[in-house]
């Protein structure tokens, strides 16, 4: 017999998962400043930037885990979590592309996928639907990219650690980009089905 797990949604704002998500958002401008510091005559602060990325990954895991365990899933949390993920990806793309660690084509591919998703969200809102839920592929893509970026940041140095960072960083980047677009295609299919169902109902 299959037992269906129920999730309780709360309207509270100041929950531990939401506070963790807010902390992640506050770290975005600090992270970007640390990456771009050497471009404006400052010293390299890649170690501190990597630390913030690591803390972001930990809090990303914890906010979802705690929200489910403590029944603190909220509408705000559903917005904050993917927003923080996308802002970290965007800030890392800007920083690493500015420093010429990432090529323009990869940045363009990831940004184009975000543009597609924004169009899908706009279409859903026009038809009265909420934004699409983050699916497993989307989470897996973010996971790969959040590993790829710090490794590629490590590759901007010398020695065997930089070599390993480049090898594994590009492997994660390739998988992450592929999964990112795959998840995007699934969102498009989902939106198309909803819109078609609405059209047929009318």
The whole-number average pLDDT for the span 82-111 is 87
Nearest-10 Cα torsion for 155, 178, 89, 70: -120
The candidate with the shortest Cα–Cα distance to 126, out of 187, 53, 174, 198, is 198
Q: Confidence band (pLDDT; 50, 70, 90) for 2?
A: very low
Q: Taking residues 44-60, what's their average pLDDT?
A: 83
Q: What are residue 110's DSSP bridge partners?
A: none
Asked if residues 161 and 51 have their Cβ atoms less than 8 Å apart, the reply is no
CB 49 within 8 A of CB 31: yes
Query: Residue 159 region, left (φ>0) first, then alpha (ψ -120 to 50), else beta?
Result: left
Cα 48 off chain centre by: 20
- Distance set, CA 142 to CA 106, 113, 136, 178 (Å): 15, 13, 10, 11
What is the DSSP secondary structure assignment for residue 180, as one 8-state letter? Answer: H
- pTM value? 0.72
Q: Please tell me the distance from the alpha carbon of residue 114 to that of residue 106, in angstroms, as a whole number.
A: 13
- Residue 5: the pLDDT is 41
Q: What pLDDT score was predicted for residue 1?
A: 38
Dihedral angle sign, alpha carbons of residues 199, 121, 102, 59: negative
The model's pLDDT over 19-47, given as tens digits with 9 standing for 90+, comes to 878 888 888 899 889 999 988 888 888 88
Greatest Cα pair distance, the chain, in angstroms, is 64
Q: What is the pLDDT of residues 115-145, one digit of tens each?
A: 988 888 888 888 777 776 667 788 788 888 8
Give 13's pLDDT tier (boundaries 50, 70, 90). Answer: low
- The chain-wide mean pLDDT, for the chain, equals 81
Count the neighbouring beta carbons within 10 Å of the beta carbon of residue 9: 13
**Terminus-to-terminus CA distance in the chain, angstroms?**
38
Confidence (pLDDT) at 11: 61
CB atoms near residue 163 (< 10 Å) = 13
Confidence class for position 10, pLDDT limits 50, 70, 90: low
Q: Write the pLDDT tens digit of every residue in 139-195.
A: 788 888 888 888 898 888 888 888 998 999 999 999 999 999 998 898 888 888 888
Give the H/E segment covering residue 74.
Answer: strand 73-74
The pLDDT score that the predictor gives to residue 72 is 67
The pLDDT > 70 percentage for the chain reads: 86
């Amino acid at each position: 017999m299959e037992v269906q797990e129920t999730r309780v949604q709360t309207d509270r704002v100041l929950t531990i998962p939401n506070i963790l998500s807010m902390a992640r958002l506050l770290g975005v401008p600090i992270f970007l400043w640390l990456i771009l510091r050497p471009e404006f005559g400052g010293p390299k602060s890649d170690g501190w930037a990597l630390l913030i990325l690591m803390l972001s990954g930990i809090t990303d895991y914890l906010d979802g885990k705690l929200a489910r365990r403590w029944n603190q899933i909220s509408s705000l949390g559903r917005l904050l979590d993917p927003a923080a993920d996308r802002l970290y990806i965007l800030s890392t793309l800007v920083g690493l592309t500015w420093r010429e660690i990432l090529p323009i084509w990869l940045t363009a591919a990831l940004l184009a996928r975000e543009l597609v998703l924004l169009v899908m969200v706009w279409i859903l809102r026009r038809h009265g639907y909420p934004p699409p839920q983050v699916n497993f592929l989307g989470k897996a893509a973010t996971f790969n990219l959040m590993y790829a970026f710090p490794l590629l940041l490590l590759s901007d140095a010398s020695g065997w650690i930089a070599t390993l960072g480049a090898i594994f960083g590009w492997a994660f980047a390739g998988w992450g980009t592929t999964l990112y677009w795959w998840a995007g295609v699934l969102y498009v299919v989902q939106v198309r089905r909803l819109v078609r169902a609405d059209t047929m109902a009318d």
